Structure 1
Amino acid sequence: MSLLTRNVKRTRLVPFAPSLGAPVELVEEEYTVAVPRDWDRAVLGTAAAGTGLLLALAVTWSTASIGGLLALNGVEKSIAYAVAAVFDLAWIICMALEWLARHDPHRARAPRIAGFVFLGISMAAIATREILPHGYSGIAVGAIGAAVSLVAKGVWTLVIKASAKELSPIAQQYVARRRAAAGAELAMAGVERQLARSRHQLDAYREAYGHDTVTVERPIPDPNGPSGQPVRVSGTVRSAVRAALTTMPDASTADIVEQLARVGIDTDEDTVRTLSESVSGQHPDSQDSSSATVLALAPHAPDDTITDTVRSAVRSVGQDLDTVLAAVRRVHGTAVKRETVRRLLSRSTG
């Protein structure tokens, strides 16, 4: 075995027959290949291992020095030494972040600067530990002790530079764009998870309390507002007006407003007139009169829930699911689910 190569065992399929005329089969054969040694990888691994050893020694020395400094002022030793480790852990974490961003100089700049700041604080604390009790005679020891962390930090910085790939400005832009695209996809994945959880929670609330949202089909223009400014009309008012228009086709807008006021629904003639124009193209036979019966026979308040409307419909039109569903949708809008009404109907009649 040469220092420049290393032997690696491989396998390959070869034809084999035990005797002449016997069927030939493919069998695995082992053979050896001389592969050039990757000295770059070996040297870099050795440097990384040595850097790890330097970091361990630096943390040990720094923790002992700073912990002793804190203990001089009466701090309990266990707490003092635990807190002392924070100083070195701070700049070591910054070095790890710098390593992760080694291919992006812009992103690596912030952890590099923060690492040197934390290192300076740690070195000052180590030097103070020796100077404070010994005066000028402790300056040399304090400087040497502080230099231990500086050496470890410097070696780690050199290892990062040796492992990082130097990219041209164009290549850096390409990497940044790819990273931004991947980051956008990852961010959207998190947003989609939040939306999915919100939808599940909303479905659970609707299932538990019988509520549902109402979608306004078309905004009603406000004659007193700016041009094109719509005024919001609740689904309850919209459904009630349409039901009244179906059951009282010859009634005036004032009569419809008065009829709705009797059952606790407040609206105005402009809204009734606009809604009547929106349904004027529909044939009366296409309107379901079940909800109109509920409107006339079972007054309901604007803030009634779907459960309240189902109970009123049962008292007015009976327990037929289709009839009750049509009545509920007239009051609360077509977004009400059939399964919700079925479940509430079974509860109210159970």
Structure 2
Amino acid sequence: MRTRTRTVQVPGTHTINGQTMPVIREQQIVEPVPPRDWDVLATRAAVTVIVVLTTFSVVWSTVSIARLLGGGWAATLAAATFDAAWIVTGVIAYLVRHQPDRRAVVDRGGWALVAVTVIALGVEGWRTSGLAAACAGAAVSLIAKGLWWMFDRATRAPLSSDDRQWLAGRRSQLGAQRALLAMQRQVAREQAQVAELAGSTPPDPDRPRGSTQVDLDPPQVDPTPALESTPTQPSPAPTAQVTAPQVDPRSTRQVDPTPAPGRPELHAVPDQVDPADLDRARAVVAALRRDQIAPSTEQIRRRMGIGRDRARACWLAIQADEADPARRTA
């Protein structure tokens, strides 16, 4: 038995003055040489020869068919398609080598493409050099395809009928799992999109695009004012000249330009308040108070589905209406 010496690295430890450190030592080992695998060598040699002959076939077919097509770079590219097509079918046949039904379809397609190449080479040889050249030239691609076919038949693993049925059943199970995974990925993507859309809030139609202003609710006004300790006497009418405010003619709410005696200005109530919005806002405020929820601009906006500016105007108008009778009573 033949042997060979090989150097290997072995981990170990080395101690000096009581200090131990890890080290790597080299060690020579003798091992038997395995016998030469002639099957593997023969397979490599056969594959190498077939690849070289296939390369010659591709070159010959490309040059001949390009000459048949009139020459030029475009004709050369088109001619290379003939042999490249049946070579690709050989690769596909190897991928489906354990699936007889699919393999049969691929094999028929490969032989059909080889027949097309052989016909094209025969026509080109008949035109240039006669029948003998046509037959010899057409046989080049046929020989290359035949070598690959015989190599596949010789190296293909034989399977019994039971083995093929078991393999087909197992492949069906794996295919079902792969299809299920693809469907689950698709459903996960759709659920993520739905969650993203559900989590987003609709934009405010009354706010200008690109605005970053933050709306704050106005301070809550106690509808029941504190009673004064002394009775209030009506104050004389002011003698100062008061300029009437500018009233929008489109406004439906009339503003008294002259302040009443003893009634200070409470809030700057907006001039334009839609009566329909104001009625709905009063109903919303009443419902919030029944539910023991503090009314605010945001609560009115959410329940009415309007913009913040319209909700704020309604809330200020309601506060002013609730505060005025209390002031007169006081």
Please indicate the TM-score interval, normalised by the length of the shorter structure.
0.5 to 0.7
Alpha-carbon distance in 1 for matches of 2:190, 2:56: 50
- 1:317–1:173 distance in 2 versus 1, CA, 3 Å: farther
Alignment of 1:238-253 (within 5 A): none
Task: Provide, for residues 19-68 of structure 1, a one-character-per-residue CA deviation record: whole Å limited to 9, x for no partner.
Answer: xxxx9x99663423311222212211221121111111111111111111
| Correspondent of 2:283 among 297, 301, 304 | 297
Aligned to 2:65: 66
Asked whether the 8 Å contact 1:16–1:27 carries over to 2, the reply is no
What displacement does 1:13 show? 6.0
Letter in 2 for 1:318: S
CA distance in 1, matches of 2:281, 2:138: 86
Letter in 1 for 2:47: A
Distance across 1 between alignment mates of 2:281 and 2:171: 60
Name the structure 2 match of 1:29.
27
1:191–1:16: structure 2 CA closer, same or farther, 3 Å change rule?
closer
Q: 1:199 to 1:89 in 2, by over 3 A?
A: same
What is the alpha-carbon distance in structure 2 between the residues aligned to residue 207 and residue 48 of structure 1? 61
Q: Does 1:82 align with 2:82?
A: no
Which amino acid is the alignment partner of residue 70 of structure 1? L
Point out the structure with max Rg over C-alpha. Answer: 2
1:194 to 183, 186, 192: 186
Does residue 94 of structure 1 match 2:99?
no
Q: Quote the Cα distance in structure 2 between the aligned partners of 1:47 and 1:27.
A: 44
Q: What's the RMSD between the two structures over aligned residues?
A: 4.0
In the other structure, the counterpart of 2:296 is 318
Structure 1: distance between partners of 2:7 and 2:158: 35
Which TM-score applies when normalising by structure 1? 0.53
Q: Deviations over 1:293-337 (max 9, x none)?
A: x89936xxxxxxxxxxxxxxxxx953577x998x69xx9xxxxxx
Q: Is the 8 A contact 1:103 1:166 kept in 2?
A: no
Q: What's 2:44 paired with?
A: 45
How many Å separate the matches in 2 of 1:164 and 1:150?
21
Aligned counterpart, 2:237: none
Paired residue for 1:123? Answer: 118
Between the aligned residues of both structures, percent identity stands at: 27
What secondary structure does 1:29 align onto? Answer: strand
2:165 equivalent to 1:165 = no
- Give me the whole-angstrom Cα distance separating, in 1, the residues matched to 2:36 and 2:113: 40
Q: CA deviation at 1:107?
A: 2.2
Q: Please give the per-residue CA displacement for 1:202-230, whole angstroms capped at 9, x wherever unaligned.
A: 3333344649xxxxxxxxxxxxxxxxxxx
Gap runs ≥5 in structure 2: 204-279, 285-293, 313-330
The question of whether the paired residues in 1 share the 8 Å contact of 2:7 and 2:26 is answered with no
> Structure 1 regions of 5+ residues with no counterpart?
212-293, 299-315, 332-343
The match for 1:277 is: none
In structure 2, C-alpha distance between the alignment counterparts of 1:129 and 1:295, rounded to whole Å: 91
SS in 1 for 2:97: coil
User: How far off its partner does 1:140 sit?
Assistant: 1.0
Aligned to 2:34, the other structure's residue is in SS state strand
Once the two structures are TM-superposed, the CA of residue 162 in structure 1 deviates from its matched residue by: 2.4
Alignment of 1:169-318 (within 5 A): 169-208=161-200, 210=202, 297=283, 317-318=295-296
CA-to-partner distance for each residue in 1:154-193, whole Å, 9 max, x for gaps?
A: 1111121222211111111122222222222222222222
Work out whether residues 94 and 115 of structure 1, in 8 Å CA contact, stay in contact via their aligned partners in 2: yes
Distance 2:187 2:11 in 1: 58
Tell me by how many angstroms 1:153 deviates.
0.5
Question: Match for 1:182: what amino acid?
Answer: L
Indicate the residue corresponding to 1:226 in structure 2: none
